[in-house]
Amino acid sequence: MARGESGKKVARAARVGGTSGSGERRPIGYPIALTFVLVLGLLLVVWSRNSREATSAPRVGDHWHSAYDIYVCEDWRGKIVNEADPNGIHTHGDGLMHIHPFNSEASGKKADFGEFFGSYGGSISDSSLQLDTGEVISEGEDCNGQPTVLKVARFDAQDRDREPEIITEGIANIRYLKNLEAFTIAFVPEDVDPPAPRPERYTFLETVDPRAIQSDNLNVVTTTSEG
């Protein structure tokens, strides 16, 4: 009797063991579904990020203004007068940067110093600036016995008591963050901070078209003036 029961147990074990052999067909629906969900999630993240970048301010149709001045050692330089405007960030020889993007090359995160200085064929880097005259100003020139370095000071023209942000790296990628900013691009010794732009720059900034579009203002009048 014991032998018979033992034989049945062995037979059952053999049958159970046989179902997990190498010939078993495993279900593949779950890993396929999991892979699909992961890929879809990744695509949504990429799409969301690109959408935010494409719609971040300044947007196509916005019209912001920023004052700028150029300071070398202890001397102020003149204005850029070349009005070339391939993508909508330009100047009118007025000491202002007109941020008026009309395509994606000058909007959102691409609305930056590199676009402005490149618009007339010049350039700016962390160590040099090329003007519309072709002149290149570089770090390392003597200034009262000390070598100059390139610094950019960002001021808020609407709050002049606020301390400026001093930028020394990634200068070509400096973004325009809002309407009515002011910048001094300065070649000064390491221990010297750039001064604020000259008062006349602020004066002219305050007289530009008051209808200038701001991205956070939905009740605006679109202006066709570029000044």
By the 8 A CB rule, do 82 and 92 touch? no
53 domain residue, yes or no: no
What's the CA gap between 194 and 77, in Å, rounded?
13
42 domain residue, yes or no: no
Average pLDDT, the chain: 82
pLDDT in tens, 190-207: 999 999 999 999 999 998
190 domain residue, yes or no: yes
5 domain residue, yes or no: no
198 domain residue, yes or no: yes
Mean pLDDT, residues 152-174: 97
List Cβ neighbours of 40 (8 Å cut-off, separation of 6 or more): none
Does residue 23 surpass a pLDDT of 80? no
pTM for this model (two decimals): 0.71
pLDDT at position 40 is 67
Does residue 218 surpass a pLDDT of 50? no
pLDDT at position 53 is 44
pLDDT in tens, 70-109: 999 999 999 999 999 999 999 999 999 999 999 999 999 9
Question: Does residue 147 have a cis bond before it (omega within 30 degrees)?
Answer: no
What's the CA gap between 7 and 178, in Å, rounded?
86
DSSP-based three-state secondary structure for 166: strand
57 domain residue, yes or no: no
The token pair at 112 is: 């930056």
Provide the residue range defining the domain that includes 91: 64-207
Total domain count for the chain? 1
Q: How sure is the predictor about 214, in pLDDT bands with cuts at 50, 70 and 90?
A: low
What's the CA gap between 107 and 57, in Å, rounded?
7
pLDDT at position 208 is 84
pLDDT at position 48 is 43
What's the CA gap between 202 and 163, in Å, rounded?
16
75 domain residue, yes or no: yes
pLDDT in tens, 31-67: 676 777 776 666 554 444 444 444 589 999 999 999 9
